[in-house]
Chains A and B, each alone.
Chain A
Amino acid sequence: MSTGSFKPKNGALRWFDDRLPILSLVHGSLGAGYPAPRNLNYFWNFGSLAGLCLVIQIATGIVLAMHYTPTVAGAFNSVEHIMRDVNYGWLLRYIHANGASMFFIVVFIHIFRGLYYGSYKAPREVLWMLGVVILLLMMATAFMGYVLPWGQMSFWGATVITNLFSAIPLVGDQIVTFLWGGFSVDEPTLQRFFSLHYLLPFVIVGVVILHIWALHLPGSNNPLGIDVKGPQDQVPFHPYYTAKDALGVGVFLIFFGLFVFYMPNSLGHPDNYIPADPMVTPAHIVPEWYFLPFYAILRAVPDKLGGVLLMFAAVGLLFFLPWLDTSKIRSAIFRPAYKMFFWLLVVDCVVLGVVGAYPPEGAWILIGQLATAYYFAHFLLILPILGKVEKTKPLPQSIAQAVLGDKAGAKPAAQPAE
Chain B
Amino acid sequence: MRIKKTFILGLVASLGFANLGLAPSALAAGEAVKLKDIEFSFEGPFGTFDRAAAQRGFQVYREICSSCHSAQYFAFRNLEGIGYSEEMAKAIAAEYQITDGPDDFGDMFERPGKLSDRMPAPFPNQNAARAANGGAYPPDLSVIVKARPGGADYLYSLLTGYEEPPADIELAPGQYYNAYMAGHKIAMPQPLYDDMVGYADGTEATVEQMAKDVTVFLAWLAEPSMEQRKSIGFSFMIFMSIFVVLLYLTNRRIWRPIKKGAMPWVGKDEKA
Chain A residues in contact with chain B, CB under 8 A? 1-2, 5, 32, 38, 41-43, 80, 83-84, 90-91, 94, 109, 116, 231-232, 235-236, 239-240, 243-244, 246-247, 250-251, 253-254, 257, 260-262, 264-267, 269-271, 273-275, 282-284, 286, 289, 292, 333, 343, 346, 350-351, 353-354, 356-359, 400, 404, 407-408, 410-411, 414-416
Contacts and interface: CB of A to CB of B under 8 A. Distances in A.
B10 interface: yes
B241 interface: yes
A80 B142 contact: yes
B22 A289 contact: yes
Contacts, number: 151
Q: Which 3 A-B pairs have the closest CB atoms?
A: A261-B233, A273-B147, A407-B261
Nearest to B248: A247
Nearest to B260: A407
A246 B13 contact: no
Interface of B: 3-4, 6-7, 10-11, 13-14, 17-18, 20-22, 24-26, 28-29, 45, 73, 78, 139-140, 142-143, 146-149, 151, 182, 222-225, 228-230, 232-234, 236-237, 240-241, 243-244, 247-248, 250-251, 254-255, 258, 260-263, 265-267, 269-270
Contact of B149 (A109, A270, A415): A270
B263 A411 contact: yes
B236 A257 contact: yes
B28 A359 contact: yes
A149 B64 CA distance: 30
A277 to B, nearest CB: 10
Given A257-B237, A271-B147, A414-B263, A284 B28 contact: yes
B233 A267 contact: no
A269 B29 contact: no
Given A90-B229, A274-B147, A235 B22 contact: no
A91 B232 contact: yes
Given A250-B247, A270-B149, A415 B21 contact: no
B28 A253 contact: no
Contacts of A407: 260-261
A42 B29 CA distance: 41
A275 B258 CA distance: 57
Contacts of A43: 7
11 contacts: A43-B7, A83-B223, A91-B232, A239-B254, A243-B250, A264-B229, A333-B3, A343-B6, A350-B17, A350-B18, A411-B261
Given A273-B143, A273-B147, 11 more contacts: A41-B4, A43-B7, A91-B232, A240-B254, A246-B247, A247-B244, A261-B229, A351-B17, A353-B21, A411-B261, A416-B267
